[in-house]
Structure 1
Amino acid sequence: MQENSLRKMQDADFLYKKIVAMSSSFFIDDTIGEVERFREEANLLLNGIRGTDAVIGIFDHLNYTPVLEVGEKEFWGELPEVPQAERMIQIMSLLEKEYLTFFTDSVKWFTGVLEDIPFEHRMNIQIFHCGIRYKLLDGKPICLFSKGSPIHYDENRKFNYTFNYVQNINHLLKKNFREYWIRISHGENSEYVHTFHSQDKLYSNKDLLSVREKEILKLIADDLDTKEIAEKLYISINTVGNHRGNMIDKLGVRDSTALVQMAKMAGMI
């Protein structure tokens, strides 16, 4: 299940590159010109990774609404038909009660972050959200991980549309983890990072994981055990264990395997 989560993310990244290439011929004055043709061609591409645990689409940030969704009925269930402008309100109605302020809080923060990014750093922007919980009409719990990547920039390197990949990661997170976190990376090598974690309510220009934690996590991903990692980094076994536990707690994942998967999905390693 966890390997499948990462594979779908890799497939989505591959399709994103195709969508970006395709979108250049459809945008006119920073809006989608031939919407229906764009929708048809994007649907053909996105159908390749549709499934019951993921929904893929294109989101309009000016009007705060999806202009294209693939796999939405399998993912969200049979919801009543509503006008496109009301789609996000419908999805927000499924939020569990402790997350009701997520959208307003995250949009406010996200807007501020984008405004503060200098022109020369406005490239390779990626937006990750993790841990938002919903309950579908049939009672099924959904815990979201999403990745958004701009598909079109204007002359000031501002964007109106993102390619969005959203997946149910209920199987990767601890049931009692009721927090959420956001990560934005950008720059020529995605070297600049902005984060928010609901546990401490802190907005930061530092990553969710420290340099040392990432170093240890990469070795975990390379299948080294705790003793081997301790010897390689000249630290104690207890120190390795403490770092591992801190990373698991911070990201809210179930175990070390889920930790590696989540870090890769969110671009941290």
Structure 2
Amino acid sequence: MLPSVRARLRQSFQRHCAELPVPNYKRYIDSIEQILSLPGLDQVVYMVCDNLNYQILYASDSTNLFGFATNGEASPGPADVARYHSLLTTDHADYSFLADSWHLSLHDRLPQEQRVNSQAVHCGMKFSRPDGRTGRLLAVSHFVEPDANNLPRIVLVIMQDVAHLIKGDHYWMRATFGEQNERVFCYLSHQREALEIDILSVREKEVLRCLHKGKDSKEIAQQLGITVETVQKHRRNMLARTGARDTTALLQLAIWCSLL
């Protein structure tokens, strides 16, 4: 992203965000390091970011995923954030600008009392891995430490490569707000649409829950009172919208993205 564009986004956020010192984010790091010490998580990267100053305050080791030997606390500033964005492939290079501007617009339009319990999922962004392969990034973010205007100061981000689950060329974003997640927004890159709807409909989620229980199309149709053809149509629509490779991949993404 052009530095001037990034600067404008940062200035826009600063106009809305109360001027407060950086919260004590170190309490999050202890639990992070305990989780990442578990086996099988060497391909997962966890970050703690300062939303106001656009800085990475903490990053777990990202050598395997991104090729950066970062591990621990740091205050590298926007330049270090740009290093991660530089890994995006050409066809997804617009992601960083669209993601930041989209989230900023959502906080702008929401009343203060609904800017709570905010979470976001960004899925399918193409990036270059250290071994030369193209990865597909899944980033799950939790926004914490709200200021006086209920704007999040700290963002906790978990990232991993889900290329084995994705076959579509697009990426998508989903954001939820409110104590009961009552405000839901999504963005689909191939449609260039930002909508106040969920990426999956209520009926599609019902089908998804049945699939998660191991039911086949006929059993789902009987339970929901719809035809087998309708069940299959819902399944195809969910695969197309999420970019999932197959039903098994769809279920795994749904679990990680809190769609189940």
TM-score interval for Structure 1 and Structure 2 normalised by the shorter chain: 0.7 to 0.9
Instruction: Find the residue that maps to 2:145 and give its secondary structure.
Output: coil
Pair 62,29 (structure 1): closer, same or farther in 2 beyond 3 Å: closer
Matched, 1:150 2:143: yes
Q: Deviations over 1:61-89 (max 9, x none)?
A: 22223110113123212469998122122
Task: Determine the C-alpha separation between the residues in 2 that align with 1:194 and 1:262.
Answer: 18
Tell me, which stretches of 5 or more residues in structure 2 are unaligned? 1-18
Task: Determine the C-alpha separation between the residues in 2 that align with 1:43 and 1:154.
Answer: 23
Matched, 1:184 2:199: no
Pair 178,185 (structure 1): closer, same or farther in 2 beyond 3 Å: same
Q: Could you tell me which residue of structure 1 aligns to residue 214 of structure 2?
A: 223
Task: Determine the C-alpha separation between the residues in 2 that align with 1:78 and 1:88.
Answer: 12
Task: Determine the C-alpha separation between the residues in 2 that align with 1:43 and 1:222.
Answer: 31
Instruction: Find the residue that maps to 1:179 and give its secondary structure.
Output: coil
Q: Write the mapping of 1:1-269 to structure 2, written as runs, cut at 5 A.
A: 29-32=20-23, 41=30, 44-49=33-38, 51-78=41-68, 84-85=76-77, 86-174=79-167, 177-269=168-260
The answer as to whether partners of 1:30 and 1:160 remain within 8 angstroms in 2 is no
TM-aligned CA deviation for residue 264 of structure 1: 2.1
Which AA in structure 2 matches 1:258?
A
Task: Determine the C-alpha separation between the residues in 1 that align with 2:20 and 2:128.
Answer: 39
Task: Determine the C-alpha separation between the residues in 2 that align with 1:238 and 1:207.
Answer: 23
Task: Determine the C-alpha separation between the residues in 2 that align with 1:156 and 1:83.
Answer: 25
Task: Determine the C-alpha separation between the residues in 1 that align with 2:182 and 2:129.
Answer: 37
Q: Deviations over 1:14-50 (max 9, x none)?
A: xxxxxxxxxxxxxx944145x7x66864664353357
RMSD between aligned alpha carbons? 2.4
The answer as to whether partners of 1:149 and 1:163 remain within 8 angstroms in 2 is yes
Instruction: Find the residue that maps to 1:253 and give its secondary structure.
Output: coil
Q: Deviations over 1:173-215 (max 9, x none)?
A: 11xx110100001111112101100121111111011111111
Per the normalisation by structure 2, the TM-score is 0.84
Task: Determine the C-alpha separation between the residues in 2 that align with 1:250 and 1:43.
Answer: 31
Which AA in structure 1 matches 2:104?
T
Pair 89,249 (structure 1): closer, same or farther in 2 beyond 3 Å: same
Pair 84,46 (structure 1): closer, same or farther in 2 beyond 3 Å: farther
Pair 204,32 (structure 1): closer, same or farther in 2 beyond 3 Å: same
Tell me, which stretches of 5 or more residues in structure 1 are unaligned? 1-27
The answer as to whether partners of 1:51 and 1:74 remain within 8 angstroms in 2 is no
The answer as to whether partners of 1:59 and 1:67 remain within 8 angstroms in 2 is yes
Task: Determine the C-alpha separation between the residues in 1 that align with 2:195 and 2:178.
Answer: 17
Percent identity between matched residues is 27
Range 132-141 or range 165-174, more displaced: 132-141
The answer as to whether partners of 2:141 and 2:156 remain within 8 angstroms in 1 is yes
Task: Determine the C-alpha separation between the residues in 1 that align with 2:89 and 2:65.
Answer: 17
Which AA in structure 2 matches 1:262?
L
